[in-house]
Amino acid sequence: MTARRLHRMRQTLERRQPDLQVLLDQVHKPHNLSAILRTCDAVGVPRAHAVSRHQDFTVHRAASSGTGQWVAVETHADLPAAVRAVQGQGMKVYAAHLSEQAVDYRQVDYTKPCCLLLGAEKEGVSEEGAALADGHVIIPMFGLGASLNVSVAAAVILFEAQRQRLAAGQYETPRMAEAEITRTLVEWLHPRIAERCRKEGRPYPALDEDGGVIWTHAPS
């Protein structure tokens, strides 16, 4: 670890957008999941929520080029619980879903707290998901295909959110609390130490200027 790499990680966290998140309902193909997480990292989405029948919610490292580890994934038992968790943080949920109430994805104001709901690869957003969402968005299609791949659709919509937030200056100052930035740096740089601290109920250690661990009390 070098001071330069630590600075880059801190700078990345200072550009994260805590009130811009993604909710994946039954998106289980590893390459799609990994591609979506890679886009999340690129636009500053710090957290994705996932509902899946599969116990092993796997990130395919080859597809994500390692970026999947920089985006937290919070799993939920069912879709209503996931939507409640997101809405409880003050975010509106927009489902990528074709319906009579759907609007062009560019008409949504993504500078406000929001979460993008994406459905399974074949079925798309479920009826339950569509009903729980605060609104529906679509990507206009002018070809013979009816829709885009879920990871491509996620990228299109999230980069529109990035464009709007850049124009609004929302990447210019840190939007994550300093304590959360420091905590995340420890988890990124020293995942084993972070896991041990969580298991033992101890606070995370501090970091020196090169990202090294500074123990206030030596670990047992």
pLDDT exceeds 90 at position 93 = yes
Question: 162-194, pLDDT tens digit by residue?
Answer: 999 999 999 999 999 999 999 999 999 999 999
Question: 136-163, pLDDT tens digit by residue?
Answer: 999 999 998 878 999 999 999 999 999 9
All structural domains of the chain, each given as residue ranges with its CATH number in brackets, are 1-16+176-220 (no CATH), 17-167 (3.40.1280.10)
Mean per-residue pLDDT, 112-119: 97
pLDDT at position 3 is 80
Report the distance separating Cα 23 and Cα 33, nearest Å: 11
State whether residue 123 is helix, strand or coil: coil
Mean per-residue pLDDT, 123-135: 94
pLDDT at position 120 is 86
Mean per-residue pLDDT, 51-75: 64
Report the distance separating Cα 44 and Cα 95, nearest Å: 20
Give me the half-sphere count of Cα atoms (radius 13 Å) on the Cβ side of residue 201.
0
Q: Please indicate if the annotation marks 148 as binding a ligand.
A: yes
Please compute Rg for the chain using Cα positions.
18
* Mean pLDDT over the full length of the chain: 90
User: With bands split at pLDDT 50, 70 and 90, how would you rate the model's confidence at 67?
Assistant: low
Mean per-residue pLDDT, 78-85: 95
pLDDT at position 63 is 43
Would the pTM count as exceeding 0.85? yes
Q: Please indicate if the annotation marks 139 as binding a ligand.
A: yes
CA distances from 124 to 72, 187, 216 (A): 23, 33, 50
pLDDT at position 54 is 58
Question: 3-18, pLDDT tens digit by residue?
Answer: 888 999 999 999 999 9
